[in-house]
């Protein structure tokens, strides 16, 4: 019981502290540079503080992060660094090569949709991006790296929506509210590749930080994942419209999907999206999860052919 309680406290403490430091960045306390510095490093500060709390509580066990010592394969007894395409211990059957097309197609659908959806979310007009979106370049690089990774037994790569949105939010410059109650507006996004490159370098260096990382409780990481998930919802229209379902119309914001669409029809569209999301979640959480790519594909005819029969084009465009 003490372990469960402490893990819950660490997770909640990490989440709320990181969220507080994020909001502290736009507060009126301390000089602007100090405030922004604290806000930008809110996540590392939260991890350090909660890991320190766990370190000084000696009489309660919490599960820690497991980090391998050095660079090694998962199971050195089973395989080496290179995975032979025709089989390591026996010849790969020819018929199985052709049969692999079916699972490969499923994986392709997942990688393609997740990559393109992530790019669409990050490239929405509200972010005021100046440089073009790399829809085709991103997919080409991910597919190329996936082919190389398979030869070395490494996991396939795909764009991760939550972490990508978190990265984009970190590079976003917001305006200062000119009057009480005004929302900060996006001024620009610092579009560059240095931060992404440094993130990759730091992830690689992390294998040398095993003596330090082993003290981080898993509950703290769960708190960070929760923080990333919650903050990535900000600015997502579906989430905003779900909140509008709980508000009286007089408090609705001045947005196109509010002004140009009747309230009940806006809620109907939101409810349709919620049902679709629930179906996807149920499929993913059951043994039928192998069919998830096909269910995802079914959302395309749903949007292209079924929804236009219910909603007008101007409503769907909003």
- pLDDT at site 15: 92
- pLDDT at site 180: 58
- pLDDT at site 11: 92
- pLDDT at site 13: 92
Asked whether 220 and 51 are in contact (CB, 8 A), the reply is yes
Domain ranges of the chain: 1-64+215-235, 69-206, 237-317
What is the distance between the alpha carbons of residues 92 and 75, in angstroms, rounded to a whole number?
A: 21
- pLDDT at site 206: 82
- pLDDT at site 257: 83
What is the distance between the alpha carbons of residues 240 and 205, in angstroms, rounded to a whole number?
A: 38
List the chain residues with pLDDT less than 50. Answer: none
The 3-state secondary structure of 243-270, one letter per residue: HHCCCCHHHCCCCHHHHCCCHHHHHHHH
- pLDDT at site 231: 83
Q: What is the pTM of this model?
A: 0.70
Asked whether 50 and 220 are in contact (CB, 8 A), the reply is yes
- pLDDT at site 178: 55
| Residues ≥6 apart with Cβ < 8 Å to 71 | 207
- pLDDT at site 24: 84
């Amino acid at each position: 019981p003490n372990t469960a309680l402490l893990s819950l406290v660490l997770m909640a403490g990490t989440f709320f502290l990181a969220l507080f430091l994020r909001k502290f960045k736009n507060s009126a306390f301390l000089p602007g540079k100090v405030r922004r510095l604290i806000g930008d490093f809110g996540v590392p500060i939260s991890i350090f503080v909660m890991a320190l709390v766990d370190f000084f509580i000696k009489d309660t066990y919490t599960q820690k992060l497991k980090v391998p010592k050095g660079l090694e394969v998962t199971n050195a007894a089973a395989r080496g660094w290179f995975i032979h395409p025709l089989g390591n211990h026996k010849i790969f059957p020819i018929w199985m090569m052709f049969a692999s097309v079916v699972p490969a197609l499923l994986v392709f659908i997942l990688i393609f949709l997740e990559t393109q959806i992530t790019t669409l979310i990050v490239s929405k007009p509200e972010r005021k991006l100046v440089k073009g979106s790399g829809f085709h370049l991103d997919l080409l690089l991910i597919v190329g790296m996936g082919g190389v990774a398979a030869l070395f037994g490494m996991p396939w790569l795909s764009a991760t929506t939550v972490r990508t949105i978190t990265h984009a939010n970190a590079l976003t410059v917001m305006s200062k509210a000119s009057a009480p109650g005004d929302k900060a507006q996006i001024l620009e996004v610092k579009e560059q590749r240095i931060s992404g490159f440094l993130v990759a370098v730091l992830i690689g260096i992390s294998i040398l930080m095993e003596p330090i990382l082993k003290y981080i409780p898993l509950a703290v990481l769960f708190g960070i994942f929760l923080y990333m998930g919650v903050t990535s919802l900000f600015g997502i229209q579906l989430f905003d419209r779900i909140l509008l379902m709980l508000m009286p119309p007089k408090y609705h914001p001045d947005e196109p999907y509010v002004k140009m669409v009747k309230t009940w029809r806006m809620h109907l569209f939101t409810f349709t999206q919620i049902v679709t999301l629930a179906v996807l979640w149920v499929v993913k959480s059951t043994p039928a999860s192998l069919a998830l790519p096909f269910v995802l594909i079914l959302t395309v005819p749903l949007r292209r052919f079924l929804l236009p029969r219910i909603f007008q084009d101007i409503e769907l465009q909003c």
